[in-house]
Each structure stands twice: as structure tokens, then as C-alpha cells.
């Protein structure tokens, strides 16, 4: 179970970071060497285009030249920073609020959720940025890993339930719409790749959390983890 | 597998793809575990929180008063309902609505502030330009780099070209007692000085011309006095859309309920006319004085006016009451009766020029002359025309002829500032440079500043400029491109990086002006800073714009980053005088209290949000002069109302006659250019925007979309249907815009609401309908003001 949680945590951290911050060359080179999406390709039955884009992209990262890297940075700025209109807005409230604005009651609900689980946003950014919401999932999973270590099944279960609630109440309500918009707005393999991959992954992860919950229940009834 | 294979996520439909299954995931995790180190991705945007969660937090909503502060005449009350640093809804004035103390309720603009100010496309981070200027290519930088660059460029330009090369562009996006523009001037002044301007884009002609009649610009009664009028003439005045002082429409409605007849003179059947007018008198733009002259003819020939009384208070009505040294037949009467030029200014003469039927002119003249008291209230639209000075002075003369100056229910016309209470503001500080340019001529000061003169170009303080403008600070304003005339010309000037070498723009959005920044800074909004504000012209209250929330992202207040720039230039003390922003606001309140006993203290004012000055009785301007002229002369050279101005005569310019009269306007209906461009094109202030602010708010576009008004007759001649997208063009530029075909506009004239954001296609044709692709940089004769309503165009089906 720990392996699975580790993987889930990594995926959420990777995605969260990809949306929230600009690419960092050393990190991308590391991913280029390990190319973790490679081993997913043979198994993934859906979502292949996104995964394939990411595999191809990371394969080329070790030999990336200055122009290609600059293109990636510029694409990040165009999609997430501005100053021109962002082709797809990465905040939940823009999709779900009545006025389609940033900083709305949806933002507050996300902030409250974060606080209940002991975290808050570092910078002065709206809490419901897709990258922050994904990073928050990673945070919940890391708590789960801690619970697992401590053998605290009750807490592990609560954490999984929180992940499920957060997915249902927040990420799954808007990220697919956002990612479709992002996919149509970029030709860059990396951002197109994560935009295609993310919503499918979130859907799958919801099923997966259910599976984990069943396992935890079972262990609980059996009197603990082995 | 090729990346060209179609995705099984159907784009645009939201259909859920097959995704991957639990089995896939398990295999993936098994494959990765042990083989790949999943590292390098620690947390980034979240940190451990120390604050606990209040689960029952509904009670924590605070209602905080603020108000508009972006150069809307109303600055009406907006209340923010704030929860945990987020504005969750807005409301407006909910104090008792009493007849003499009406609520200052927000209009559609104020009520959609959340939609505008929390727009997801706000500017978020400081940027430096990386492409060609105006191309829109920027790179994110730190605030540290931004303020260092600004400081070093200010210094470089000061050393290379002198302080006079530095200019703070006209900008009232933050229109309040601490304004972005004043701060920009203050920063430049602290560092040695800058080239200043005088006047504004709103009322240059009236502002400049009114004192030639009355000696002052304080010519308005308080608007509470309108209930005493029997007849009100709204001459190009449209407060239903331009909220002009918080309560103009309210007091006009009260006057109407009180029995006043209301006549609206306007090329358009405006929203104000729809809601108030008993009669609409449409005319062609720039021909107002032909109508006024013909009215005067009727008044004189039908003996409708009290000539003895006119001569007691005025100079220049007839030959017997002229200033010394003026040749014969120069009086108003001589001109009107045709003694000076052989042309009697009869209603039939007037009709040919302004298109108002002679019978209507006669009736209008009789109504205005005989209904006592009557208020002829001019808006500022008619004077934003090529002959704007004449319209302004013409109104003052009509008021004087009919005995409506200095009386209850009358109105002296002119700019009609009402002597409102004096609320202090943070000033720009001492500028050692004495040179001032007329604000509208800043592009001239960029291209040929050193050639500008006092006589030709209205330069003040000096005979010549030492340098052209080389650097511009543009803080919360869209006059750099969008709101200045002749955008295509302006853009060419700004694109030439050898002319203006450095441009700083701070704004909330990527406006057409912001695109031309070298350093582009994300500003804060009215919700994100404390300020104090007062409304335009009449209406007597002050508002406290409370800060509701912190600015998001890296948006920053101008006072804050300018203090940093000042520190880098070694002039922080001079810039701040040791005060924080809040201390300046406290200073403003303290100064205001000194002049206005009863004005609340800082904390009280902040809590109240609005303070209405106690007015014992409405102000009647020039009451003293009219009741006792000998002891209370008008502040003019003659001490009287100057129908004839010797000061104007001495200028010896046929476009600036000594008496107001019809002057043929370039690009008016009598210009030969009409053969090529047969339609007059004017603008107006639209209810969906405040100047160019809110143009990106889609709710307001639903309220009133950007469209051009055209009379049915002109549309038929061009085979146009209502709603057609048409091309509007002249030699200066072209735009595409939907046409609204309506009887609400006089034939021969089209009207385009001002303030739409210039959006050129790759051929430079504006796709949004920004009127300034059609307007001209030719200034008016006397004020050197903007004549942005005077344009000839042609319209074609696209």
C-alpha cells in the first residue's frame, strides 16, 4: 500500500508543480532520465495521447537546446502568468462561481478545506489554483503515508475520505472543463500532455481511493496492518 | 504509437475518456517502485498553517463601505461583504432614502464591480517588454528589478535630456484624493522635476472659455436649486448615463415633478431625453451656435428680453455698451441683426446650418426667454467639438440675455462648477519646471516639443521647451493610446523608441495603453487600498474608499512601489514627507476638518464611509453681483458679464471671435470634406463604461453592447440592416462595429460610444469600435482642447 500511496503522492506533486510553477531545468532533466511515464504507456488503456506526449517530451529533455527550453518557459508564461489574457483560467471559482471571477466563496471553501488539514497557501494567490488543489491532494496522501507508518488506520481512512471529498467537491467539478480548454489552447507537448492526462487520472484516482478504502476497512476488521 | 493519433478525450464536450483502470495503476506503481526514484517534487505552494478553522464562520462577514473611485462623476456607495479576506457580495447605500437626503445608490457599473475587479485576466506580475514596443511581448520580472529599472531610467533621462523630458500622462483610473497621476508627478518632482500639463480631456473648452464671460469657472448653482426652475434646457447634458455628481437625475426628476418643462438639445435622443424630456431638439454637432444665434435673433427682434437690464450687467450687447477701442458694428446685436456682415441670423438662416426647423427655433427662443426662471444647463459633450469654445460662451450669453444669471431657479451656464466644499488631496509637490503644455497636445510635445510656442500651441510658463518628451509615467490611465485622439498616429509615435525612450504603465488590465509599456506593473483596485474621494462638479459629499481585501498575486499600490523607487533615487523623504499612505489619508482628513467644521475625524469617517456636507440653503451663483453690482463686480476686466471680450479680440484670430458666434468647423457639416466623408461622427459616454473602464466586463456588454447609432435614412441609403457589422472609416483609420438603426439620432450623424478598447486586426482595422481610430489630434483654437466629437466619416456594409 505504501508504494501505491507514494506513487499517487508523486503524481499529484508532479501535476501540482507543473501547473503552479514554471519548469525547472534540473528537475526536468531528472524526469528525462527516469521518464516515469514510460512504464505507464504499455498499461494505460485510455489517455494514451497525453501519456505518449509526456513520454516523448521527457525522452527529448536530456538533449533539450536553449531555444526549446526557452519555448517551454514562454509557453508557461503564456498559459499561466500573462500579461495577455490567459487562454484557460486555472482557478476553480472562475468555473463554478456565479460571476466567473477569481476570489469567490469557492475560493473560501477550498481555503477552509486546506486549513482543516493544516495547510495554507504560501503566496498571495487564490487558494483554488489547479496546481494548489493538486498539491493539496499530495499533502493529504503524505499524511496517509504517515498514518500508515504509525499504523493509525482510523486516521488513514479519514484521510482517504477527505481525498475523496476534495476530489468530488472540487477538482472533479471543474478540472476537466479547464483541461479541455487548456488542451485546445496549446500545441506544446508538455502542457498538452498534462492537460490530457490530468482529468483522466483524477477520475481513475477516485476509483482507486474506493479500492484503498475497502482495503483499509478489511485490514481494520482483521485487526491492523501486516 | 504516434502522437498524431486522435485522443479519446473528445475535446470540447467534457466526455469522460476511458481513462486507466485500477489494474493499470497497480502495474504502474509496481513498475516504478524500486526502479525510479520519485524525487524532486516537494511541496511548493502550501505550507503548514498556524491558524485554526472556525467551522461556524457565517457570522464573520463584515460589511465595509467603499465607493467608486475611477473618474465617474458619482463615486456612489458600494458596500463590500467581506469574509476571510474575500468579497463575497456587494450592496449599496441602505441608509434611509429621504426627499432631501437621497440615497447615493450605485448604478449597473458599481453593482458589477466584483465582475470587473476580480476578472481572472487582471495583471498579476511585473513585466518588462521583450519584443518591439506595442507588440505585446513581455517577460516576468521581480519587483526589485522593476523599481531598479525605473529609478535608473529616471536618472539616465534626467542626465541625458533634462528633467523637462519627463512626463506624467493624464490618467484618472484612480480618481481620488490620492490619485495615481498625482503620485507619478510627485515622484518626478521629488527627483528634480517634470514637464507638467494643464486642463483635461473633459472640459478644456468650457474651462478655458467660461472665464472670458464671467471671470470664473464657479458658475453653477447647487443642484438642489433645480426644483425652483420653470424650464430646464439640458444642452448636450446626459446625466442618465454620465453620473454627474451623485444625484443629477434625482434633482432633475424632482424639478420635473415640480412642474418644470424639460427640453433636451442633443443630436441623439439620449437616455436622459427618454426619461425626462418634454421636447427633444436634435441638431447637427458643431452647429449649436447657429441655433443660439438664431434664438438670440428671435429674442431681439421680438423684444423678448429686457435690454436695459442686459446693458446694466453686461458689456458688448449693443453698440452703446462696448469696451473702449473696439471698431463699430462689433456688438452682439450688430452681428445677430446682420449689421456687421450683411447676414441676419434669422431662424431660417439657422435652420439651414443646424437643421432645427425655423418654427422650432422661434418657439424655443420664446420659451427660454419668457419662462422665468429657466436653467440652461450645458453638458461637456458639445464643447468637445472643433468650435467648443463658442458653444460654451454661447450658453453663458443666452443665460445673461434672459436674466437667468444670479437668480433662484436660473443657471449661468458655462462650466457650472458649484462651489463645493474643499476636501484636501495629496498634491504633486513643488515642480521646479515652469513649463506646461495643454494636456491634449502631449503627442506634439513628443514629436516637436522644442518647436511649440505660447501663441500657436498654448505653451505656458516658458516661451520654448528645452526638449521633447522622452519618458512617460502612465499610472492607471488609458490616454496613452485608447482615449487620446487619432490612435493610428499615436501608435506610430510610441512605436518609435527613439522618441519616447522609456514608458512605465501601472494598471489593473492589459489595456491598449498597457501594451505600450516598457515596464508594466500590476496595480491594485479600489477594493484593495484606502482612499478618499469626492464627486464631480455638484453634489456635496465625500466618501471614504475603505480597503476591503489585500491585493492578490503581486499587485501593488503605487504609493508603495514609488516609495521604493524614490529610495533608490535617494529622495524617499521628499516623496513621502515621512508619511505612510494611511498617514497621508489622516492628513487629508485633518486638513479638511480645518476648512469644514463638522467634518468627522479619521476613524469616524472611515467607519461612516460617506459624509454629506450640511447645506443650509442651495447656493445661487452670482446672486450678490445681480443684487448689488456696484459693490460686487464680476471678476472680469470690466467688472461685468462680458458678452464681448476684449481679451479675445486682442488675440485677433477668426476662430476665436470676441463674441460667441457660429464658426464653421473643420470636419463639420459645412466642410467640403463632406463630399468624401458625408457623415458626422460623434461619441458619447456610455452607461456600460466609465470612460474605458469596464469594457472587459461581459455583464455590462449585455446591458449595452458596443454599437454605432445611425438614422434609418442614412442606413437605407447604404443598404444597411439593423445589427449589420459595418466598416466606419476616414483618412485616419477604420473600425468594424455593429450598427443600430434608429430614429433616435439626427440624419447625417452617426454616434459611437467612447471608451471601447482598441483591438486592431493585422491590417490595423479596429474590431471593437474604438472611436479614437477616427478622431483627430487637431486642437481647438483657444483652449487647445480635444475635439473628439468632430469627425467626418463614411460607413459601408462590411
B24-58 pLDDT, tens digit per residue, is: 777 777 777 655 555 545 678 999 987 766 655 55
Taking the alpha carbons of B273, B278, B283, B285 in that order, is the dihedral positive or negative? negative
Judge whether B59 and B53 are in contact, CB under 8 Å: no
Among chain B residues, the shortest Cα distance to A174 is held by: B14
Stretches in chain B below the pLDDT threshold 50:
1-18, 40
Per CB-CB distance under 8 Å, the chain A contacts of B11 are 180, 183-184
List, as ranges, residues 520-539 from B with C-beta within 8 Å of A: 520
User: Across the interface, do A101 and B12 touch by the CB < 8 Å criterion?
Assistant: no
CATH architecture label of B127-201+425-536+549-587: 3-Layer(aba) Sandwich (3.40)
Reported ipTM exceeds the 0.85 cut? yes
User: Across the interface, do A46 and B18 touch by the CB < 8 Å criterion?
Assistant: yes
Phi/psi of residue B166, nearest 5 degrees: -105, 135
Rg of chain A's alpha carbons, rounded to an integer? 18
CA atoms lying within 13 Å on the CB side of residue B356: 31
Higher pLDDT, A27 or B689: B689
User: Across the interface, do A125 and B553 touch by the CB < 8 Å criterion?
Assistant: yes
- Mutation choice for A interface testing from B15, B41, B85, B90 by most A CBs within 10 A: B41
B427 contact A CB<8A: no
CA distance B40 to chain A (A): 6
User: Across the interface, do B9 and A53 touch by the CB < 8 Å criterion?
Assistant: no
User: Across the interface, do A120 and B520 touch by the CB < 8 Å criterion?
Assistant: no
Beta strand extents in B579-651 (DSSP E only): 610-612, 641-642
Per CB-CB distance under 8 Å, the chain B contacts of A52 are 1, 3
Among chain A residues, the shortest Cα distance to B698 is held by: A99
A163 contact B CB<8A: no
A166 band by pLDDT with thresholds 50, 70 and 90 = very high
Judge whether B619 and B419 are in contact, CB under 8 Å: yes
The residues facing B752 across adjacent strands are B683
pLDDT digits (tens, 9 = 90+) for B315-334: 999 999 999 999 999 999 99
Among chain B residues, the shortest Cα distance to A47 is held by: B19
A216 contact B CB<8A: no
B578 contact A CB<8A: no
B80 by DSSP, 3-state: which?
Answer: strand
Phi/psi of residue B655, nearest 5 degrees: -80, -10
Average pLDDT, chain A: 92
Alpha helices in B524-580 (DSSP H): 558-568, 572-576
B51 contact A CB<8A: yes
* B661 vs B287: CA distance, rounded Å: 10
C-alpha cell at B430: 513643488
CATH entry 3.20.20.70 includes domain B208-285+306-324+368-420+621-648: no
Judge whether B184 and B168 are in contact, CB under 8 Å: yes
**Distances B76 to B66, B87, B453 between C-alpha atoms, Å:** 9, 18, 42
Judge whether B170 and B479 are in contact, CB under 8 Å: yes
User: Across the interface, do B51 and A41 touch by the CB < 8 Å criterion?
Assistant: no
CATH entry 1.10.3480.10 includes domain A2-222: yes
Judge whether A156 and A144 are in contact, CB under 8 Å: yes
Judge whether B610 and B64 are in contact, CB under 8 Å: no
B520 by DSSP, 3-state: which?
Answer: strand
CA distance B112 to chain A (A): 9
Average pLDDT estimate for A168-193: 97
Q: Among partner residues A94, A123, A184, which is closest to B12 by beta-carbon distance?
A: A184
Q: What share of chain A has pLDDT > 70, as a percent?
A: 96
**What is the domain partition of chain B in residue ranges?**
127-201+425-536+549-587, 208-285+306-324+368-420+621-648, 672-797
- Mutation choice for B interface testing from A83, A113, A119 by most B CBs within 10 A: A83
- b/e string for A120-154 if b means 16 or more Cβ within 10 A? ebeeebbbbbbbbbbbbbbbbbbbbbebbeeebbe
Q: Among partner residues B28, B41, B552, which is closest to A7 by beta-carbon distance?
A: B28
Residues 6 or more apart in contact with residue B363 via CB below 8 angstroms: none
Q: Give the per-residue pLDDT at A78.
A: 97
Among chain B residues, the shortest Cα distance to A13 is held by: B41
CA distance A185 to chain B (A): 11
Fold classified for B672-797? Barwin-like endoglucanases (2.40.40)
User: Across the interface, do A125 and B16 touch by the CB < 8 Å criterion?
Assistant: no
C-alpha cell at A123: 503566496
Judge whether B782 and B209 are in contact, CB under 8 Å: yes
Per CB-CB distance under 8 Å, the chain A contacts of B556 are none
Q: Give the per-residue pLDDT at B38.
A: 57
* B423 vs B541: CA distance, rounded Å: 10
| Burial (CB count within 10 angstroms: exposed 0-12, middle 13-18, buried 19+), residue B654 | exposed
User: Across the interface, do B49 and A200 touch by the CB < 8 Å criterion?
Assistant: no
Helices A2-20, A130-150: crossing angle, 10 deg rounding = 160
Amino acid at each position: 500500500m505504501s508504494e501505491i500511496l507514494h506513487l499517487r503522492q508523486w503524481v499529484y506533486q508532479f501535476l501540482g508543480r507543473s501547473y503552479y510553477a514554471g519548469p525547472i531545468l534540473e528537475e526536468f532533466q531528472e524526469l528525462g532520465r527516469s521518464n516515469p511515464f514510460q512504464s505507464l504507456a504499455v498499461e494505460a488503456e485510455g489517455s494514451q495521447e497525453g501519456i505518449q506526449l509526456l513520454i516523448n517530451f521527457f525522452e527529448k529533455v536530456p538533449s533539450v537546446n536553449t531555444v526549446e527550453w526557452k519555448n517551454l518557459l514562454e509557453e508557461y508564461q503564456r498559459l499561466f502568468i500573462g500579461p495577455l489574457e490567459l487562454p484557460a483560467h486555472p482557478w476553480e471559482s472562475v468555473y463554478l462561481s456565479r460571476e466567473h471571477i477569481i476570489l469567490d466563496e469557492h475560493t473560501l471553501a477550498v481555503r477552509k478545506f486546506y486549513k482543516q488539514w493544516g495547510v495554507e497557501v504560501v503566496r498571495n494567490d487564490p487558494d483554488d489554483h489547479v496546481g494548489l488543489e493538486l498539491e493539496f491532494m499530495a499533502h493529504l496522501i503524505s499524511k496517509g503515508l504517515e498514518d500508515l507508518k504509525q499504523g493509525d488506520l482510523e486516521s488513514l481512512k479519514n484521510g482517504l475520505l477527505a481525498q475523496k471529498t476534495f476530489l468530488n467537491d472540487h477538482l472533479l467539478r471543474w478540472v476537466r472543463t479547464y483541461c479541455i480548454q487548456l488542451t485546445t489552447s496549446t500545441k506544446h507537448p508538455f502542457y498538452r500532455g498534462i492537460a490530457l492526462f490530468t482529468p483522466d487520472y483524477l477520475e481513475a484516482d477516485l476509483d482507486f481511493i474506493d479500492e484503498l478504502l475497502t482495503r483499509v476497512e478489511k485490514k481494520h476488521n482483521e485487526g491492523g496492518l501486516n | 504509437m504516434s502522437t498524431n493519433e486522435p485522443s479519446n478525450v473528445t475535446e470540447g464536450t467534457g466526455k469522460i475518456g476511458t481513462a486507466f483502470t485500477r489494474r493499470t495503476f497497480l502495474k504502474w506503481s509496481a513498475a516504478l517502485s524500486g526502479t525510479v526514484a520519485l524525487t524532486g517534487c516537494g511541496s511548493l505552494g502550501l505550507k503548514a498553517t498556524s491558524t485554526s478553522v472556525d467551522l461556524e464562520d457565517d457570522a464573520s462577514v463584515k460589511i465595509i463601505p467603499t465607493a467608486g473611485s475611477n473618474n465617474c462623476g458619482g463615486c456612489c456607495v458600494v458596500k463590500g461583504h467581506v469574509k476571510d479576506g474575500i468579497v463575497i457580495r456587494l450592496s449599496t447605500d441602505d441608509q434611509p432614502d429621504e426627499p432631501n437626503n437621497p440615497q447615493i445608490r450605485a448604478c449597473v457599473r458599481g453593482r458589477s464591480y466584483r465582475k470587473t475587479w476580480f476578472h481572472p485576466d487582471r495583471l498579476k506580475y511585473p513585466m518588462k517588454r521583450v519584443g518591439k514596443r506595442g507588440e505585446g511581448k513581455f517577460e516576468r520580472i521581480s519587483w526589485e528589478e522593476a523599481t531598479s529599472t525605473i529609478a535608473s531610467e529616471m536618472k539616465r533621462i534626467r542626465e541625458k535630456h533634462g528633467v523637462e523630458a519627463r512626463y506624467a500622462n493624464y490618467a484618472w483610473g484612480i480618481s481620488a484624493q490620492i490619485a495615481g497621476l498625482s503620485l507619478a508627478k510627485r515622484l518626478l518632482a521629488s527627483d528634480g522635476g517634470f514637464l507638467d500639463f494643464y486642463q483635461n480631456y473633459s472640459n478644456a473648452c468650457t474651462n478655458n472659455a467660461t472665464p472670458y464671460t464671467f471671470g470664473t469657472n464657479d458658475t453653477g448653482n447647487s443642484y438642489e436649486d433645480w426644483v425652483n426652475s420653470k424650464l430646464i434646457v439640458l444642452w448636450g447634458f446626459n446625466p442618465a448615463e454620465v453620473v454627474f455628481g451623485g444625484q443629477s437625475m434625482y434633482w432633475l426628476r424632482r424639478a420635473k415633478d415640480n412642474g418644470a418643462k424639460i427640453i433636451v438639445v442633443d443630436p441623439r435622443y439620449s437616455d436622459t431625453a427618454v426619461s425626462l424630456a418634454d421636447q427633444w431638439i436634435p441638431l447637427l454637432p458643431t452647429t449649436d451656435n447657429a441655433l443660439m444665434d438664431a434664438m438670440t435673433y428671435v429674442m431681439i427682434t421680438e423684444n423678448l428680453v429686457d435690454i436695459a437690464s442686459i446693458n446694466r450687467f453686461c458689456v458688448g450687447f449693443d453698440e452703446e455698451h462696448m469696451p473702449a477701442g473696439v471698431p463699430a458694428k462689433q456688438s452682439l446685436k450688430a452681428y445677430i441683426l446682420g449689421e456687421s456682415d450683411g447676414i441676419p441670423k434669422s431662424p431660417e438662416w439657422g435652420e439651414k446650418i443646424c437643421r432645427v426647423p425655423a418654427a422650432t427655433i422661434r418657439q424655443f427662443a420664446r420659451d427660454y426667454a419668457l419662462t422665468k426662471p429657466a436653467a440652461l444647463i450645458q453638458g461637456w459633450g458639445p464643447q468637445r467639438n472643433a468650435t467648443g469654445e463658442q458653444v460654451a460662451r454661447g450658453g453663458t450669453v443666452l443665460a445673461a440675455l434672459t436674466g437667468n444669471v444670479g437668480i433662484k431657479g436660473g443657471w449661468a451656464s458655462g462650466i457650472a462648477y458649484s462651489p463645493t466644499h474643499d476636501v484636501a488631496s495629496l498634491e504633486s509637490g513643488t515642480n521646479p519646471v515652469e513649463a506646461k503644455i495643454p494636456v491634449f497636445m502631449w503627442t506634439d510635445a513628443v514629436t516637436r516639443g522644442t518647436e511649440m510656442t505660447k501663441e500657436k500651441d498654448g505653451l505656458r510658463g516658458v516661451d520654448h521647451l528645452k526638449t521633447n518628451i522622452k519618458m512617460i509615467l502612465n499610472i492607471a490611465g488609458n490616454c496613452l493610446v485608447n482615449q487620446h485622439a487619432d490612435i493610428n498616429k499615436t501608435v506610430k509615435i510610441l512605436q518609435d523608441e527613439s522618441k519616447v525612450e522609456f514608458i512605465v504603465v501601472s494598471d489593473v488590465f492589459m489595456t491598449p495603453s498597457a501594451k505600450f509599456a516598457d515596464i508594466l506593473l500590476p496595480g491594485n483596485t479600489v477594493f484593495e487600498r484606502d482612499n478618499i474621494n469626492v464627486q464631480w462638479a455638484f453634489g456635496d459629499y465625500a466618501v471614504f474608499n475603505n480597503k476591503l481585501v489585500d491585493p492578490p498575486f503581486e499587485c501593488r499600490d503605487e504609493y508603495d512601489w514609488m516609495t521604493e523607487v524614490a529610495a533608490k533615487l535617494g529622495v524617499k523623504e521628499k516623496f513621502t514627507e515621512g508619511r505612510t499612505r494611511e498617514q497621508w489619508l489622516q492628513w487629508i482628513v485633518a486638513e479638511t476638518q480645518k476648512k469644514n467644521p463638522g467634518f468627522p475625524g479619521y476613524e469616524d469617517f472611515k467607519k461612516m464611509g460617506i459624509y454629506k456636507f450640511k447645506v443650509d440653503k442651495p447656493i445661487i451663483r452670482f446672486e450678490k453681483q445681480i443684487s448689488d453690482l456696484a459693490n460686487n463686480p464680476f471678476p472680469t476686466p470690466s467688472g461685468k458679464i462680458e458678452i464681448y471680450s476684449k481679451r479675445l479680440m486682442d488675440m485677433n484670430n477668426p476662430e476665436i471671435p470676441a463674441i460667441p458666434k457660429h464658426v464653421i468647423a473643420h470636419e463639420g457639416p459645412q466642410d467640403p470634406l463632406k463630399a468624401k466623408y458625408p457623415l458626422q461622427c460623434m461619441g458619447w459616454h456610455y452607461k456600460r463604461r466609465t470612460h474605458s473602464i469596464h469594457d472587459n466586463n461581459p455583464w455590462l456588454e449585455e446591458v449595452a453592447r458596443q454599437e454605432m447609432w445611425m438614422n434609418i435614412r442614412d442606413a437605407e441609403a447604404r443598404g444597411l440592416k439593423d445589427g449589420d457589422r459595418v466598416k466606419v472609416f476616414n483618412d485616419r483609420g477604420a473600425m468594424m462595429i455593429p450598427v443600430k438603426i434608429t430614429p433616435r439620432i439626427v440624419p447625417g450623424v452617426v454616434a459611437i460610444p467612447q471608451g471601447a478598447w482598441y483591438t486592431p486586426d493585422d491590417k490595423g482595422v479596429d474590431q471593437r469600435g474604438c472611436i479614437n481610430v477616427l478622431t483627430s489630434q487637431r486642437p481647438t483654437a483657444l483652449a487647445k482642447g480635444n475635439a473628439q466629437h468632430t469627425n467626418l466619416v463614411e460607413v459601408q456594409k462590411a
